[in-house]
Amino acid sequence: MVKLRLKRCGRKQRAVYRIVAIDVRSRREGRDLQKVGFYDPIKNQTYSNVPAILYFLEKGAQPTGTVHDISKKAEVFTELRLNKNQ
């Protein structure tokens, strides 16, 4: 099973996260399938590769809680619903 999860990067006390598609059995810093976004909680910046996120969600990937909230703000789920209706 694949999950959309945050992967920690950056220095001590200055965490930055990559949003990655990763196998459930892998650890947090393990090998990811694809990098699909970026999240900086200090500057409150996000970047999402929406087509890649939609691809993994359509294939059955489950987002974690934080990734779900970030995707919700980026309105990824509305695009997912629009794609399913067409």
What pLDDT, in 10s, does the model give residues 7-65? 999 999 999 999 999 998 887 778 889 999 999 999 989 998 989 999 999 889 999 99
Each residue's pLDDT tens digit, 53-72: 999 998 899 999 999 998 88
DSSP calls for 53-78: HHHHHHTT-EE-HHHHHHHHHTTHHH
| Alpha-carbon radius of gyration of the chain | 13
Structural domains in the chain, CATH included, are 1-83 (3.30.1320.10)
What is the pLDDT, as a whole number, of residue 75?
82
Least Cα distance to 2 among 61, 65, 67, 71 occurs for 61
Rounded CA-CA distance 11/23 in Å is 25
Residues 14, 4: Cα–Cα separation, whole Å: 22
Mean pLDDT of 75-86: 74
